[in-house]
Structure 1
Amino acid sequence: MKERRNNLRISAIMKEKGLTLPDLAARIIVTDKDGKERTLTSAALGARINGNPHLSNLYEIADALGVKITELFPQEDQCTKAPAGKFKIQTICPSCGAKISASVTAE
């Protein structure tokens, strides 16, 4: 079995919605260098999902799945609001597995 390189919930959401990789790929429209629009292939989508996907790809995937981008991440990666307008987020680096924590203060 192939080792998972990230902790995204894309496969789980696809399963919940009864979608296959080709189904999801067909929902994503990309523009070629010559300006022509086409759907994404399953292989291209698989490459975008595995490893460390670019943020723009995650937005496309979330849109195609009909979910918010935050739903692509496990619950433990979700942003939580702390007292006094402070937000904390914790996630795991898909490349090295290190825990990443960040805090933001909303004004």
Structure 2
Amino acid sequence: MLRVQEICKEQGITMQDLAKKMGVTYQALYAAVSGNPTIGKLGDIAKALGVNVVDLFERNSQDSEVNGYIKVKGTLYEVHSFEDLEKLINMKY
């Protein structure tokens, strides 16, 4: 689950403020964080918040896992950890 709203609250801004900062509508931002955002969109959100992309993901404990698939540059990767996710994000940027 994404922590965008939580990070906004920590920074004292609203999702509307973030959307404005990103140059998108609130509805577009909400759809992205509620749906299946691309790595590019996650990168845009992280940049606007001044955090790393991996910081956007909820971690319940030190042993939290990420399990899923991410497509980067046309290749589908299986992800099992935050470290895997970070490596893929660094490939993109």
Amino acid at match of 2:36: N
Post-superposition, which runs of at least 4 consecutive aligned residues in structure 1 deviate over 4 A?
none
Bigger-Rg structure (1/2): 1
**Which residue number corresponds to residue 75 of structure 1?**
59
Rounded Cα–Cα distance in structure 1 between residues aligned with 2:65 and 2:14: 29
RMSD of aligned Cα (Å): 2.6
1:53 aligns with 2:44: no
Indicate which of 31, 40, 49 corresponds to 1:65: 49
Deviations 1:3-22 (A, max 9, x none): xxxx1111110110011111
Indicate which of 23, 45, 52 corresponds to 2:17: 23
Q: TM-score scaled by structure 1?
A: 0.58
More helix by percentage: 2
The alignment covers a number of residue pairs equal to 73
Note the residue ranges of structure 1 that are not aligned, 5 or more in a row: 1-6, 29-38, 81-88, 94-99
1:91 aligns with 2:66: yes
The answer as to whether partners of 1:25 and 1:42 remain within 8 angstroms in 2 is: yes
Identical aligned pairs, as a percentage? 37
Note the residue ranges of structure 2 that are not aligned, 5 or more in a row: 69-78, 85-93
Report the 3-state secondary structure (helix = DSSP H, G, I; strand = E; otherwise coil) of the residue aligned with 1:27: helix
